[in-house]
Amino acid sequence: MDAGRFVEVADRVWHARFPQWDVGVGLVPGRDGAVLVDTRASGVQGGAVVAAVRAQFPGVRVRHVVNTHVHFDHTFGNIAFAGATIHAHDRVAATLDGEARRIRAAIAADCSDCPEYGYTVADLDEVAQTRLRPPDCTFGSSATIDLGDRVVTLLHTGRGHTDGDIAVQVPDADVVFLGDLVEQSAHPSLGPDCWPLEWPDTLGSQLNWVGPDTVVVPGHGRPVDEQFVCRQQGELATVAAVLRERRLAGMPLADAAREPDHRLPYPLADLADAVACVWAQLEPS
Ligand SMILES: [Zn+2]
């Protein structure tokens, strides 16, 4: 990984990876300014993105920022983009304060270096101290940003990783940013605000815009292809099927979070939040 350096993944579509939480940032320059996809985890980190764009793309002005979903590592850097319009799904505006409370409480409970995810106590302090900048421009199903010589389309196809995940499509370059609906450097993160039963269908709808040559940029990790996304969708469908089966059979939540099943593609320890979500979202038959 060439940390913090933008790499061209398709015609005039750029992607940079940053060490903390291995978050990816996209840049789509056009005639009338650029769209930036996701802003990292703090005001300081967002400022580093501003500096990286300025150094690598002199003269390019970021006029639009898109948040692929509400999570802090994709939104807290918004504050660094003073002159840009921030676009996101309606639910990002509705849940950003709650996300801030959640992450600040998590940091207060455990503030230590984490080499596995590339962050330090100093990074966490910056996250906790960041002032939120909510989106300016939100939508429910789709929106378009016109850059003069190209357009960028934003599309929500349902709930999954959160209730407000969107794809950022760049049709003229055949690129789709999918946020954390797909992850490459780790398996998908199924946190306390995920929708495991709906996620596979949401991803399936996004796959309608993905062909064999499409470059798919995940929220974390390097760009992938259609096959990768299909494989991950299959894994998420298996998680949904196993958890649905357990819930409908009346299994107690504590057992469901403990009993192994050879079909599950991810460690059961990583699925504790997903189990709780399914138990809250579905009644036993
Ligand atoms: Zn996320």
State the Cα–Cα distance between residues 235 and 76, nearest whole angstrom: 30
Question: pLDDT band at 1, cuts 50/70/90?
Answer: low
pLDDT of residue 69: 98
State the Cα–Cα distance between residues 187 and 153, nearest whole angstrom: 26
Nearest CA-CA partner of 18 in 36, 6, 3: 3
> 220: which DSSP letter?
B
CATH T-level fold of 7-281 = Metallo-beta-lactamase; Chain A (3.60.15)
Using the mean position of ligand 1's atoms as its centre, give its distance from the Cα of residue 225 in Å: 20
Using the mean position of ligand 1's atoms as its centre, give its distance from the Cα of residue 161 in Å: 7
Query: pLDDT tens-digit profile of 149-196?
Result: 999 999 999 999 999 999 999 999 999 999 999 999 999 999 999 999
Domain map (residue ranges) of the chain: 7-281
Using the mean position of ligand 1's atoms as its centre, give its distance from the Cα of residue 24 in Å: 11
Tell the burial category of 26 from Cβ atoms under 10 Å away from its Cβ (0-12, 13-18, 19+). buried
Query: pLDDT tens-digit profile of 252-264?
Result: 999 999 999 999 9
Using the mean position of ligand 1's atoms as its centre, give its distance from the Cα of residue 198 in Å: 16
Instruction: State the pTM of this model.
Output: 0.96
Residue 56 pLDDT > 70, yes or no?
Answer: yes
Using the mean position of ligand 1's atoms as its centre, give its distance from the Cα of residue 69 in Å: 7
Using the mean position of ligand 1's atoms as its centre, give its distance from the Cα of residue 150 in Å: 28
State the Cα–Cα distance between residues 26 and 48, nearest whole angstrom: 14
pLDDT of residue 101: 97
Using the mean position of ligand 1's atoms as its centre, give its distance from the Cα of residue 180 in Å: 5
